[in-house]
């Protein structure tokens, strides 16, 4: 690693935090390949403790990951946007579910009367399925991991830009776990999509654009210190929104035991996507508008309606700044993510139901940013499965497994992730009556499409084509806490 990378990382975060916080939380693994191993502990805690002690030196820290990312970005910039060959890294983080922590601590890790976010962690994702809208085809009894009869104690997240290196590391970790008597109960492999689709999720839209910035970690914009320098629209929030033991936007963090400091709650979710069915319904909804004689700007077809469902075009360009056509240059204007919904209170441009408005209503809720900012999460997902492309042969057809390995970090599971699922994504009356649920990931509903030319709105049916196939709530402890277990 060059001095430049290490310096850049050290400048960003006080050293004692950057060496203590695991690397995927604030810095984020920059990766094309990722494997998530779900592990079950044996009955005897001693070999598990030994296994963990041997694992700790291999855990990637924020400092290491941030240094690599800084070096990578500098090299990419020098190479005018192409990927620097020869710069490669393989990372690993570990998180523990509540039963896993309890097993290692030998006692109840958290006292009885706790805030809702801690209760969510204690109860686990299986018990909280209803809150998250996981019913019907997404029912937790059908999950591939996280079911009540299939306990998960630890989660290893292994990432690399090189598939062969990832496989070597994953197999070493599997062997070490097996020697200590741990069982791999589920293994989820993810990879960025190939070619032009790189950085896009399976429906075809660019992902990973809008993330929160973190104070003392991301560099503020000198002209506007509430945003991240060079990333317009990315607001800087206090670290306590994502990492425990630090002040939050609303003031002090809840008093939790000292061992939680510098740790973060993690949601791992396997979300299967039925790509052809989702696009077929976008097409049907668009044709319905024609049948009903709704007047639309010329040239606005299925892509136009799908962009309203997401709030962005396939390239990632926002509907807010590019209402009726995808801009010819990717990814739109430099400040494309600097979105305000104040002037679009009725959702005539970015509909209230649009995925990016539902999951981050920005200043369009409560007249201030704060109500949306306290619900932010850090997303670290990656697609799994081959792209839908029947001409490309086996594995690319409509029935093949594909979707998103959704991974998110936050300081409160109930206040952040579960709130997004329940109060915004799956709330039919979000912002206004009969808005409908999120047409990308929400449960079935009619959404109300409103336009300047159609102020009273038209109802369009959106069924659910993203199915939950497993969820685990875990906690990624600090390095110092892991050493104490
Ligand atoms: C943004 C797709 C699941 C929360 C986005 C974007 C896309 C997308 C294309 C726009 C790119 C960006 O701004 O980064 C999907 C797909 C999903 C999925 C296909 C499932 C298969 C979820 C879930 C949540 C979520 C489960 C949270 C519970 C967000 C948030 C943003 C976002 C917070 C950023 C919004 C903003 O700041 O403007 N998603 N997403 N997504 N998504 Fe999702």
3-state helix/strand/coil string of 277-308 = HHHHHHHHHHHHHHHCCCCCCCCCCHHHHHHH
| Structure token pair of residue 281 | 């319904």
CA neighbor of 414 nearest in space, from 442, 377, 439? 377
DSSP strands (E only) in 192-333: 213-214, 220-221, 224-228, 231-237, 264-273
Closest atom of ligand 1 to 273 CA is 21
| Structure token pair of residue 26 | 């604030």
190: buried, middle or exposed (CB in 10 Å: 19+, 13-18, 0-12)? buried
Closest atom of ligand 1 to 408 CA is 27
ipTM above 0.90, yes or no: yes
CA neighbor of 352 nearest in space, from 293, 429, 243, 421? 429
- Ligand 1 pocket test, pick from 28, 352, 355 with the greatest ligand atom count within 8 Å of Cβ, gives 355
Structural contact between residues 403 and 385, judged by C-beta atoms closer than 8 angstroms: yes
- Residue 228 to residue 155: CA distance in whole angstroms: 31
Structural contact between residues 471 and 265, judged by C-beta atoms closer than 8 angstroms: no
Mean pLDDT, the chain cut into blocks of 10 residues (485 residues total): 42 76 96 97 97 98 94 80 78 98 93 80 96 97 95 97 96 98 98 96 96 92 89 92 92 84 97 98 97 92 98 96 85 82 97 98 84 96 96 93 98 96 98 97 97 95 97 98 96
Instruction: Supply the residue whose CA is at minimum distance from atom 38 of ligand 1.
Output: 356
Q: How far is the CA of 106 from the centre of ligand 1 (A)?
A: 38
pLDDT at site 424:
98
| Structure token pair of residue 93 | 């983080």
Structural contact between residues 288 and 441, judged by C-beta atoms closer than 8 angstroms: no
pLDDT at site 332:
58
CA neighbor of 71 nearest in space, from 92, 91, 87, 90? 87
- Residue 413 to residue 419: CA distance in whole angstroms: 8
pLDDT at site 88:
86
| Structure token pair of residue 294 | 């709704």
Residue 403 phi, psi dihedral angles, 5° rounding? 165, -155
Closest atom of ligand 1 to 211 CA is 37
CA neighbor of 468 nearest in space, from 239, 146, 211, 37? 146
pLDDT at site 11:
47
- Specify the residue for token string 């009869």: 149
Instruction: Supply the residue whose CA is at minimum distance from atom 25 of ligand 1.
Output: 359
pLDDT at site 87:
80
Structural contact between residues 34 and 157, judged by C-beta atoms closer than 8 angstroms: yes
Q: How far is the CA of 257 from the centre of ligand 1 (A)?
A: 32
- Residue 202 to residue 388: CA distance in whole angstroms: 7
Structural contact between residues 384 and 402, judged by C-beta atoms closer than 8 angstroms: yes
Q: How far is the CA of 16 from the centre of ligand 1 (A)?
A: 32
Long-range contacts of residues 41-45, Cβ cutoff 8 Å, at least 24 apart: 41/100, 41/103, 41/153, 41/154, 41/181, 41/182, 42/180, 42/181, 42/182, 42/183, 44/181, 45/103, 45/104, 45/106
Structural contact between residues 211 and 379, judged by C-beta atoms closer than 8 angstroms: yes
What pTM value is reported for the model? 0.96
Q: How far is CA 410 from CA 97, 123, 240, in A?
A: 15, 17, 9
């Amino acid at each position: 690693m060059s001095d430049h990378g290490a310096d850049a990382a050290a400048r960003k975060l006080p050293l004692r935090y950057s060496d203590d916080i695991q690397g995927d939380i604030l810095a984020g693994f920059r990766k094309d390949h990722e494997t998530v191993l779900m592990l079950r502990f044996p009955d005897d805690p001693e070999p598990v403790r030994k296994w963990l002690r041997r694992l700790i030196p291999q855990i990637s820290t924020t400092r290491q990951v941030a240094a690599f990312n800084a070096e990578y970005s500098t090299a990419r910039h020098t190479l005018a946007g192409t990927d620097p060959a020869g710069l490669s890294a393989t990372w690993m983080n570990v998180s523990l579910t509540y039963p896993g922590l309890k097993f290692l601590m030998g006692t109840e890790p958290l006292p009885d009367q706790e805030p809702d976010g801690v209760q969510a962690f204690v109860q686990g994702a299986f018990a909280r399925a209803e809150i998250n809208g996981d019913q019907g085809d997404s029912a937790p009894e059908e999950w591939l991991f996280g079911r009540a009869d299939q306990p998960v104690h630890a989660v290893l997240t292994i990432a690399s830009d090189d598939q062969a290196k990832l496989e070597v590391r994953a197999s070493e970790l599997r062997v070490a776990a097996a020697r200590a008597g741990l069982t791999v109960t589920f293994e989820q492999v993810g990879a960025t999509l190939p070619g032009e689709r790189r950085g896009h999720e399976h429906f075809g839209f660019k992902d990973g654009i809008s993330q929160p910035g973190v104070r003392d970690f991301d560099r503020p914009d000198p002209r506007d210190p509430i945003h991240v320098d060079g990333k317009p629209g990315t607001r800087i929030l206090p670290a306590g929104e994502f990492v425990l033991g630090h002040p939050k936007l609303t003031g002090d963090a809840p008093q939790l035991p000292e061992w939680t400091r510098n740790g973060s709650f993690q949601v791992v979710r396997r979300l299967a996507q039925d790509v052809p069915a989702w696009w077929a319904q976008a097409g049907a909804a668009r044709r319905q508008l024609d049948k009903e004689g709704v007047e639309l700007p010329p040239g606005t077809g299925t892509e136009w309606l799908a962009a309203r469902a997401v709030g962005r075009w396939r390239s990632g360009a926002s509907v807010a700044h590019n209402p009726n056509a995808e801009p010819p240059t990717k990814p739109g204007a430099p400040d494309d993510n600097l979105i305000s919904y104040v002037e679009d209170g009725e959702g005539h441009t970015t509909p209230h139901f649009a995925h990016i408005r539902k999951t981050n209503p920005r200043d369009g809720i409560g007249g201030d940013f704060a109500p949306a900012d306290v619900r932010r999460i850090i997303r670290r997902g990656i697609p799994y499965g081959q792209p839908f492309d029947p001409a490309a042969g086996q594995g690319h057809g409509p029935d093949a497994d594909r979707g998103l390995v959704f991974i998110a970090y936050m300081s409160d599971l109930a206040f952040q992730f579960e709130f997004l699922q329940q109060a915004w994504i799956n709330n039919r009356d979000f912002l206004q009556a009969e808005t409908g649920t999120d047409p990308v990931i929400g449960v079935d509903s009619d959404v109300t499409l409103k336009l300047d030319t159609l102020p009273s709105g038209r109802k369009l049916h959106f069924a659910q084509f993203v199915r939950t196939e497993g969820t685990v709530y875990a906690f990624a402890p600090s390095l110092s806490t892991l050493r104490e277990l």
